[in-house]
Amino acid sequence: MRNIVIAVAALLATPAFANPPVEAFGSLPNLSQAKIAPDGQHFAAIQALDGKPAAVIYKVGAPPGTKPVIVPSGEGTVDSIDWGKNDRLLIRLKTNERVYGDNRIRTWERSIAVKADGGDLVVLLKNFPSLRNNTDDVYIVDKNLDDPNSILMPLFLKNIVFKSYYEYYDPYENFRMDLLKVNLETGEGHIYASGDYKTADWITDGHGNLVARLELSLRPLRHELLIYDHGEWKPSGQYDAEADNGAGAVGLTEDGKAIALLRHDNRDTTALIRHDIATGNETEILFADPRYDVMQPIKDEWTGRVIGAMYAADQYEYRYFSPENQALEAGLQKSFPGLSVHATSMDKAKDRVIVAVQGPRLPPTYYFLDRTTHNATEIASAYPQLAQSDLGEMKPYPYKARDGLEIPAYLTLPPNREAKNLPTVIMPHGGPDARDIVGFDWWAQFLANRGYAVLQPNYRGSKGYGRKFTQAGLHQWGLKMQDDITDGVKKMIADGIADPKRICIVGASYGGYAALAGATFTPDLYACAMSFAGVSDLNEFMFTQRSDTGQDSQSSSFWKSRIGSDWDDADKLKETSPALHADRVKCPILLMHGEGDTTVRIKQSQIEYDALQQAHKDVQFVRVTGEDHYLNFASTRIQMLKELEAFLKKNIGT
């Protein structure tokens, strides 16, 4: 088993630095999404190659020095990988292209399959003309390892719908979601089961057999769960689908007798609920935590069945339903106390396991565990250039908001510096339905390494803290959500950690909005602000979301629940749009935005830049070419960090 480790380590070998340059933090992880094939004979990962993510395949037990197979991605960017069969790796690629006829940029995703030796690369679903109407080819519904060549995937196909003059016309009726059987050798797909224009999801048993499907109805938004019973689809439950409600059907349970639903219903925290197939009963809770939402189910890699739950306290926590799986997790935690550790992948026999370990001062590090010999060997670190001494201590830093709400937050301190009167960066996360945890954060650690204290507040509306915490943030952009951030800054000052004259607010996406809102609505608090891909005009953002996804879509419903409606709440959204109050800004502002961003379009930063220019404010706008919302490439991460480092040095020192 040592040979796989030697091969990977040789490929990733990078010299350590006494004083890490920007590249040590901004380079892409040298290893991520490490996964082992079902027969345990091959190991694949996404690795950095010339500053881009690349899919790489290793042969387990190959002689030392054996070079891995590197799969060419062409013009696409590798987004994710997954094993479909023993010798077939599936790779999802994304590109950002303009939509024909309306000049909008959209993200297009496609899947390819390649043999473990790098041969016979094929594009999946290539024989379906309707693929060109899908921005993505959706996902794998069933790997079905009993079938040597095929998997099941859904796809939206052209639908023929006849309506009388007086009937309501729904544009979504132009398409229906079918379930396709896709041959991994040829890439061709064939219809396995037909849905209709309401079909939103399919559930199978891991062996290619239909179990259930979800349907989505509009006006009002409702989900209906249908159970497949001897050739017929029988209704088994209806659910409100507005915003982030809905059936949340995430897969079949281990025993095959129930559907696992991710729901909150009348509980304060989201739980995994058992929906009995025979009776429709939903009284049994598979897993729930009284304080934290279940973030996502844990699924068996090869059957797709739900085998556990993951939630986030200060770190990610993993709970399995079977004693065998939970014993493995407990053993891993015992081996790496105080760190976040879990089995990211294992072969079908569960003999060979890839384990990921990380902490604030330990970048994600991967181990190969052979459970037959009980040997575990390190494969590689995602950031081998960084030593523990380069990284800052990160600890919980909770505080109370002005209305008494407890705000979880995390403070990262510069290494070898006293936590007193420090230049400080406030870094609210994006989302806002996301959250920070105690763990390695390349951006925060870069700032700490450069001498800044970094505060990451999980303001109200952050994900994972229960329904009441979410509801406290509804329609509170620029209001109570912003107050939560402000109150964290004031605590940092009161505790003597932050120098009140040297505080900068920095963020991306929603964090970028919060940075602009902080500079605009609390102008005396910050010495500078930096926004990467931030929102600046809420009405324009909501109009674009509705135009992109449809007025009645779940996406539009979600954003209306979080921000408000540009029809009904236009005046309120104007009051909390930083670009419309640029005259209030007193500090320098740095704007950065990817030109290919389809999540928050670059127009948002352009609006802010134009408003600040017109108000004669100190503003710099960096348009990042070839990048979207997610900083996919080393060159753009490094560019962002260099621009930010110079900006901070100029405005709050080092």
Query: Each residue of 454-495: pLDDT tens digit?
Result: 999 999 999 999 999 999 999 999 999 999 999 999 999 999
Residues 409 and 104: their CA atoms lie apart, in Å, by 38
Q: Averaged over 332-357, what is the pLDDT?
A: 96
Total-model pTM: 0.94
pLDDT at position 98, please? 76
The pair of structure tokens assigned to 337 is: 């106390």
Average pLDDT, the chain: 93
Cis status of the peptide bond prior to 68, with omega within 30 of 0: no
CB atoms within 10 A of CB 541: 23
pLDDT in tens, 556-610: 999 999 999 988 899 999 999 999 999 999 999 999 999 999 999 999 999 999 9
Burial of residue 101, with CB atoms counted within 10 A of its CB: 0-12 exposed, 13-18 middle, 19 or more buried: exposed
Task: Name the residue with higher pLDDT: 95 or 101.
Answer: 95
Q: Averaged over 164-188, what is the pLDDT?
A: 76
Residues 260 and 207: their CA atoms lie apart, in Å, by 17
- 5 to 10, 33, 320, 346, 372: CA distances (angstroms): 8, 16, 28, 16, 17
Question: What percent of the chain is modeled with pLDDT above 70?
Answer: 94
Cis status of the peptide bond prior to 384, with omega within 30 of 0: no
- 585 to 227, 368, 524, 533, 616: CA distances (angstroms): 57, 52, 9, 19, 10
Residues 446 and 363: their CA atoms lie apart, in Å, by 12
Output the CA torsion 243→249→251→254 (10° steps).
120
Phi and psi angles of residue 108, each rounded to the nearest 5 degrees, phi first: -110, 130
pLDDT at residue 267 greater than cutoff 60: yes
Q: What domains appear along the chain, each with residue ranges and CATH number?
A: 2-381 (2.130.10.120), 391-537+577-652 (3.40.50.1820)
